[in-house]
Each structure stands twice: as C-alpha cells, then as structure tokens.
Amino acid sequence: MTAHSGRHFLQIPGPTNVPDRVLRAMARPTIDHRGPEFAELARDLLRRLGPVFGTGGPVVVYPSSGTGAWEAALVNTLSPGDRVLAFDTGHFATLWRDMAEGLGLVVDLVPGDWRRGVDPAAVAERLAADRAHAVAAVLVVHNETSTGVTSRVPEIRAAIDDADHPALLLVDTISSLASIDYRHDAWGVDVTVGCSQKGLMLPPGLGFNAISQKALAAADTARLPRSYWDWAPILAANEGGHFPYTPPTNLLYGLREALLLLEEEGLSAVFARHDRHAEATRAAVRGWGLEVLCADEREYSSSLTAVLLGDGHDADKVRQIILDRFDMSLGTGLGRLAGRVFRIGHLGDLNDLTLAGTLAGVQLGLQLAGVAVDPGGLQAALDVLRAAHEDRTGDRGEESR
C-alpha cells in the first residue's frame, strides 16, 4: 500500500465526512435508554429534526440504513396488490421499485434515460388516465445519488393535485436532506425518507420517515406486514422520550450535535453553500471540456455532480489513479453508468478550500489518465467561488474605508 500524508479526501456522495464535534459527541458514555437523561435527549433531537425536514409533524427515527426507511414508508401506508407509480430516474429509483415489487406491490414504471428527473407532465398524464384511482402512491427520488439529478417535487405535487388524485406522495431525500432545500409540509409530501450518512454528517445507521396526517390515516388500513417498521409503537413511545426497542444511543448523541451544527450555520446558509459548491464543480467540468450527466439545468443537484466521460475513457481508471496518487475517493458509476461516469460528492461537512483541493485532484487525475482536459477548468471553479464571496462582502480587493 502507498503511504499518504495528510487527510484522506472522502468525496463520494455518502457516507460523508463526519465533523470532529459529532465524533466527540458520539464518544460519550452510553446511558440508560429507559432513564430520564435519555428521555431528555430523545425529546430534544426529535424537536430539532422537524425543521430539517420542513415539517411540524412527526419524524420517526429507525436504527437502519436508508433502505430500511424505504421499506418503512411502503409497509406503513400500502396493502398487498396496491398499485404504485414509479420512475426510472436512476439506480436507486430502480432499487426502490424492486423493493416495492418484492413486497407484493404492483409497480407502474415510467421509463427514463437517467439524465433527467421525474417529469411532472408524465405524472399528470398517468394520474389523469387513472380514473378508478387504482394508483395508491407515487414514488419519487428527490435527488438521485447515482446521477446527480434532482426532481422537482413541488411541480410533481401540483401535477397530482391538478389530476385531483388521492395517491400518496412518497419522496426519498436520502442524498438531499440537509443539503438541498426541501419542505415536507409546504410541498404536500406524505412520507419523506431520509438517512444519517449524507447531509446530516453522521456515520450510517439512522433512517427517518417524516409523516403527514394523510399518511398516518393510511397506516390505519394498510395491510402489508410490519412489525419492526411499524410507526404506531414508535410514535407512542416517543411521546415519553423513548423507543420500543434498544435505540442507538451514541448515534443519537451524534445526531443532536449534527443538528446543532446545522442550526448554528442556518439552513438557508447550508443550502447556499451547497449551491455554491455545485455551481463551482459544474464550472470546472465544463471548463475541462467534459459533460455534466444531468441534462436539464433546472434539475442540477447541489449534493453531487456526475461527470460523463467520452468514449475511449474508463471512469473507474480515472478514479483509481486519483485514489492511488492523491488519496481521494470519488463515487463510481452505478448500473448502466458503470465505467462511464464518476461522481464528485460535495455535500455535508465541506468548505470552499476543501472543494478547491478536490477539483485540483480531479484535474490532475484526468490528466494522468490521458483524458484531454483544459487546465482552465480549475480556474473556472475558483472564479465561481471568488465571485460568490465578492457578492457577499462587496470587497473586490479595494482598500477598506
């Protein structure tokens, strides 16, 4: 193995870098999860979670991955044989579809090219044709982690409403939560799925469901089998600051610290930082003469950028060179994108200089891999970052007075 000095650059789209404050919080001694100190911890973090989802309603926390939270969203609201509308927008959208089918649901899958998000017009067309209201739920991945494409959830909600259709809206925010503006209540989402290891800056191990009143009502009649994932006993125990099973206490310490970090920066500033880093990354990609995978600028992701390489170049070879030479991990291409793209994660605990170092490493790696790139790509990114600070401070180098 090659010995490296300095820090490893973890620039995959999750798990992301865990801040030192969160790591220190997680190192605290474990406490009695049935005692008053834990109850205070649980009530506090459950209260702080709501604004991150944009909801005043309940948020259920599971010791699970995001995949577990996917399953919880389905089994609490649907029954065997129910029809759901899903969209082939990327690798993870298809995995959620596969799960739904495995649970005994009937999935109507709208084809896609993995370069665009959910088309609100297609939602409107499908639901307008469903006069019998056979579709029980619409499944949408807000930010597709495999492609760097963000679907326009408010427009999708409007399409459902315009069709006067009662379908539930279930949205995966696994790689957008706490990174991209998201509003569970205002956008009329019924179940929002999230997890801990991306924008929330924690290790893997926590899954989330934010739940609307409509979804809670649906849970009363849903007949898919559920036990561990059942919302009802969790919500009942949460009222006293507890859980119906042993909770991951040390991850919850970390979650509270991560929520405090987000509050201190302010969610609007967090979103602006992610927007700035995404814009700078896209500027670098274009400056290199390469192509951003996302084909619709309205759907650019602020969590990650997938870079499409031309024929004759292996994206995994580029990634391997960057890892070996510069100790930086980039995301691989998944599914039909394997070998064709690499993904630059720019979410979570990240600042401008870390992003600049990341893009410098990518540029060096591309050059070493024999990909013809314009070295002005890095400067294009730095120009975006500098301009953002000039706009914020009004300081363009003149002497302050």
The CATH number of the domain where 305 resides is what? 3.90.1150.10
Please determine, for residue 237, whether its predicted confidence score (pLDDT) is greater than 90: yes
Find the farthest-apart pair of alpha carbons in the chain and give their distance in angstroms, rounded.
Answer: 71
Task: Classify residue 123: in a domain, yes or no.
Answer: yes
Count of beta carbons in the 10 Å neighbourhood of residue 117: 29
Task: Classify residue 176: in a domain, yes or no.
Answer: yes
What is the band of 394 on the pLDDT scale with cuts at 50, 70, 90?
low
Q: Is the peptide bond before 15 cis (omega within 30 degrees of 0)?
A: yes
Q: What percent of the chain has pLDDT over 70?
A: 98
Average pLDDT over residues 227-252: 97
Task: Classify residue 376: in a domain, yes or no.
Answer: yes
Answer yes or no: do 106 and 124 share one domain: yes
Average pLDDT over residues 197-220: 98
**CB of 23 closer than 8 Å to CB of 225:** no
Answer yes or no: do 145 and 199 share one domain: yes
Tokens encoding 293: 């995978």
Residue 290 domain boundaries: 266-390
pLDDT in tens, 136-171: 999 999 999 999 999 999 999 999 999 999 999 999
Answer yes or no: do 229 and 354 share one domain: no
In angstroms, the CA 288 to CA 285 distance is: 5
**In sequence order, what are the residues at sequence separation of 6 or more whose Cβ sits closer than 8 angstroms to the Cβ of residue 372?**
289
Task: Classify residue 401: in a domain, yes or no.
Answer: no
Answer yes or no: do 174 and 40 share one domain: yes
Tokens encoding 389: 């600070």
Per-residue burial over 231-267, b = 16 or more CB atoms within 10 Å of its CB, e = otherwise: beebbeebeebbbeeebbbbbbbbbbbbbbbbeeeee
What is the band of 398 on the pLDDT scale with cuts at 50, 70, 90?
very low
CA atoms within 13 A on the CB side of 355: 32
Query: Among 232, 263, 294, where does a domain finish?
Result: 263
- Cite the DSSP H helix spans in 105-248: 120-129, 153-162, 213-219, 231-238
Model pLDDT, residue 399: 39
Query: Among 246, 263, 280, where does a domain finish?
Result: 263
Please determine, for residue 13, whether its predicted confidence score (pLDDT) is greater than 70: yes
Do the bridges between strand 206-211 and strand 341-345 make them parallel or antiparallel, or are there none, so unpaired?
A: unpaired
What is the band of 400 on the pLDDT scale with cuts at 50, 70, 90?
very low
Task: Classify residue 4: in a domain, yes or no.
Answer: no
Please determine, for residue 310, whether its predicted confidence score (pLDDT) is greater than 90: no
Task: Classify residue 8: in a domain, yes or no.
Answer: no
Answer yes or no: do 270 and 242 share one domain: no
Model pLDDT, residue 393: 62
Answer yes or no: do 219 and 313 share one domain: no
Question: pTM score, two decimals?
Answer: 0.96
The CATH number given to whatever domain includes residue 147 is 3.40.640.10
Number of domains in the chain: 2
Model pLDDT, residue 401: 34
